Every structure is written in structure tokens, then in C-alpha cells.
Amino acid sequence: MGKKNKSKMFVALAFLVVIIILIGVFLISQSPSQQAEEVVQSFYEYEQEAQFAESWDLFHPLMKEKFTKGHYIQDRAHVFMNHFGVTTFSYSLGNMEKVEGWSMTKDADPIEIVYATTVIQNFKGKYGTFDLNQEVFVTEEEGEWLILWDYNK
């Protein structure tokens, strides 16, 4: 094989590798709604495991203004474990819906784009079995997908 053929083969192989990498990146990249769903899944997995510090870390800065990390950890454990007598729960998510111009409170500036889903938590505790339904919102803030709750009254 001559130098010209080796050179052409190398260029063809390099081109093929670049194409494979681009296809891989395209297949691996997720849509915004998939990324939003992943953070909701992570949040509730942490909550199931009573890792409330980790779930609090997934809150949007507006949520973190509502309660300190310590208060959240103490409150979540107290209400769900002590009052309701549950050690864990199951949950399900509805479809992720894109919402434009949503506000966490009626006085807050609107967030351009959020993704909303309904989360149903199923608890089994000393007061029987019950479900808690909550609409959960997710938005991207500085490259991170973060959780918000609705405080509109």
C-alpha cells in the first residue's frame, strides 16, 4: 500500500470516528423535559432515603429563601417520620409539561420557562395509607436544574 492510500484511509477512518462521536453525543444528550424529570426523580429518591440535606440542595434559590437547610431537614423528618409514622414512601410522576411565565408566588417575578409535573407520594404509616399530591416545578438556573414549589394563594 502506498503513502497516498494510507493517507486516504487515515482520513476516512478519522472522519468515521468523528461521525460516531457526534452520533453518540446526539443520542446521549437529553431534552430539557428529560433533564427536569431526572432532577425530580433525584429529589424524591433522596426524600425516600431521608437524605433531606441532599434533597434541599436541589431547591432553587427562591425555595432556599423559604427555609434554611437545618429547618427543612428537621421539619421533614419530624412531620413525615414522627407525626405520620412512616419510614419511606413510594411515588409516581405525571408527564412533564413546559410552562412559560410561571411565578412561585403572586408577587414574584415570572420565570421564563419551567417544567411542571404532578408528584403523588404514597405513604403507609400509623394512620393508614394516604397519598400526597403536589405540583412540582423545575427550571434551569446557571446550568443546574432545580426544584420549585407553588406558593400562589
Residues 48-95 have pLDDT tens digits of 998 999 999 999 999 999 999 999 999 988 887 788 888 779 999 999
Element (H, E) at 97: strand 97-102
Residue ranges per domain, the chain?
A: 32-149
Strand 97-102 relative to strand 128-141, pairing? unpaired
Is the CATH code 3.40.50.300 the one for domain 32-149?
no
The pLDDT of residue 74 is 93
Top-confidence residue, 28 or 94? 94
DSSP SS3 for 124: strand
Contact between 86 and 124 (Cβ < 8 Å): yes
Q: Are 103 and 113 in contact (CB under 8 A)?
A: no
User: Does residue 27 surpass a pLDDT of 50?
Assistant: no
Stretch (H or E) spanning 120: strand 111-125
* Nearest Cα residue to 115 out of 100, 104, 125, 126: 100
- What's the rounded Cα separation, in Å, for the pair 143 and 92? 26
| pLDDT score, position 25 | 55
The pLDDT value recorded for residue 88 is 78
Kindly state the cell numbers that stand for 6: 494510507
- At residue 125, the pLDDT reads 84
Helix ranges (DSSP H) in the chain: 3-28, 32-48, 52-57, 61-64, 69-76
